[in-house]
Each structure stands twice: as structure tokens, then as C-alpha cells.
Structure 1
Amino acid sequence: MEPKYPIPTVGALVKGPSGRVLIVKTPKWQGLWGVPGGKIEWGEPLEAALQREFREEVGLELIRIRYALLLEGVFDPQFYKPMHFLFINYFAESLAETIEPNEEILEWAWVTPEEALGYPLNNITRTLIERYLQGEA
């Protein structure tokens, strides 16, 4: 049984030491690329949830975390099942670019933000990268 309320999630566009950003491909977005992230646990502060998700999914520690934007996904057809999400997005940095993927990560790439826009991105990630390129990082 699916919840009957919006699910808050955190995610981040992360820049590595090379100046490139990390994008990942997961099965939940039907072959589209996005950024690591996930659901917030009960009692977990937003930035702690973001750090945990990045450690779990790609093995990265984040620094210089800053809020980027809030987006909503209501039954987004790009997601593998109907869900109502609140996407709390951040910009952040990492001192490493070595990825230790978990089972959710099918592929990953460190690319320039401009290169990322050439990938088949989910709409949430496309909006986040466009905001980043507007100089709001």
C-alpha cells in the first residue's frame, strides 16, 4: 500500500575536485540519469539524510553543502511507480571522485554540467543542473 501523503527526499548535484559534477543512472528512473539521494528517515535532519544517502549510494562524503531548490513530483511518469515526492535539492562538493556504488547505481559519470545536459536526465535533475548553470551555486 502506497502512502497517501508526499514523501520528502534529499538529493544533491555534487562537484568533485576536477570541477565536474556527478550524475548516476538508477533503475527507479527507467534508464534516466539523475543525482544520488533518497528518503529522509524519521528524526533525521535534512543534511544528515543527504550525507547518509551519498555514503550509502556512492561512498562519498560531502562538504560545502548548500540548499539549491525545492521541486515537486506528483505521479511523475518518469518514476517507476506513482509517487508524490518533495525533492529537497542541494549543491555540494566532494574531495574525492572515486565511486563505491551500491545496488541502486547502474552507471555513473563525472561530467561538466553542460555535458550532463546532453544525457537523458530526469526532469528534476535537468532543472537542478540548469539552476546550477545560472550561477546560483
Structure 2
Amino acid sequence: MATPPKHPLPTVAALVSGPSGRVLLVRTTKWRGLWGVPGGKIEWGEPLEAALRRELREEVGLELHDIRLALVQEAIFDPQFYQPMHFIFFNYYARSESEEVTPNEEIAEWVWVEPEGALKYPLNTFTQVLLKDYLSVGAHPYREGGLSS
């Protein structure tokens, strides 16, 4: 294992909804087989939203629009991750006009699922928090009465 960073690692990720209203979940080996949302590291000098767009293009081949910052979470040496890390997660909600996924080598499996049904998957706890926020009253950014109304 490489020497861990000496500072927290900022990352971006998005709960993406497609034209059908379903959301994208991905499973990677880095999260010990748990399901989550696509995302990754922010590059030096890269704005958060640009990092999010780049990571989603690289990992799943999707272009994003209607991007909304959802919440910020922190993971300090969480055992769900394959190695000890200190992450700062900038979690977003976003839309994609396509549900055609082109996965990179990090993605073992993916699925588009109704948001309510996503909670039945074995999710990492950070994705659970994000999804529950998405489903909560007034937090869903694309529902009638939500953030974008």
C-alpha cells in the first residue's frame, strides 16, 4: 500500500438522475463491493463542478446538467473503503440526458434504479445519507416544490 496522504483528500461525486427519473448506482472494489455513486478526486487548481463533470465523463461516460451541491460529508479511516483514507466528499445531484453508461475499469457493475428502490441495495453509508436527503421532503431538486421550482 502506498503512503497515505498527510492531508484530507477532497473528492466529488453525484447522484445522477436520468430521463426516466431513475438514479445511477455503481459498485467498485474500492468500497469493498458496496454500491455508491460515481465520482473521484479533484485535481490541483480544478473547480469542484469541473472536477465532477470530468470524473463522471471518465468513470461512466455521462454528461451532466442541472448540477446542484447537495451536501458535504467526511470519512476518516472508514472501514468500508479498502484502505485508510481521510476524505471530504462534495456530493451533488445532477441530471443526464442519457442512461447509456460507458464504464471505466473502476466500475465493476452499474444499475439505473428508482430512487426509492435504491435503498434496497447494499450502499456505503455516505451514499445512504445522500440518497435519503434526495428523497426527503423539499430536498429532491427536480420534484414539484423542490429546489429548482
Smaller-chain TM-score bracket = over 0.9
Q: CA deviation at 1:3?
A: 0.8
Query: Could you report, residue by residue, the CA deviation over 1:40-86 in whole angstroms, capped at 9, with x for unpaired residues?
Result: 00010000000000000000000000000000000000000000000
Q: CA deviation at 1:113?
A: 1.1
Secondary structure, counterpart of 1:132 in structure 2: helix
Q: Distance in 2 between matches of 1:54 and 1:20?
A: 17
Q: Distance in 1 between matches of 2:108 and 2:128?
A: 19
Q: What's 1:84 paired with?
A: 86
Instruction: Name the larger-Rg structure.
Output: 2
Comparing both chains, which one has the higher relative contact order based on Cα–Cα distances under 8 Å and sequence gaps of 6 or more? 1
Runs of 4+ in 1 over 4 A off after TM superposition: none
Secondary structure, counterpart of 1:129 in structure 2: helix
Q: What's 2:144 paired with?
A: none
Tell me, yes or no, if structure 1 residue 37 matches structure 2 residue 39: yes
Q: Please give the TM-score of this superposition, normalised by the length of structure 2.
A: 0.91
Unaligned runs of 5+ in 2: 142-149
Q: Distance in 2 between matches of 1:97 and 1:108?
A: 11
State, as a whole percentage, how many aligned pairs show the same letter.
68
Query: Could you report, residue by residue, the CA deviation over 1:3-27 in whole angstroms, capped at 9, with x for unpaired residues?
Result: 1110000000000000000000001
Give the alignment's Cα RMSD to 1 decimal: 0.5
Aligned residues: 137
Tell me, yes or no, if structure 1 residue 129 matches structure 2 residue 131: yes
Unaligned runs of 5+ in 1: none
Q: Please give the TM-score of this superposition, normalised by the length of structure 1.
A: 0.99
Q: Match for 2:50 among 35, 48, 51?
A: 48
Q: Match for 2:18 among 16, 19, 28?
A: 16
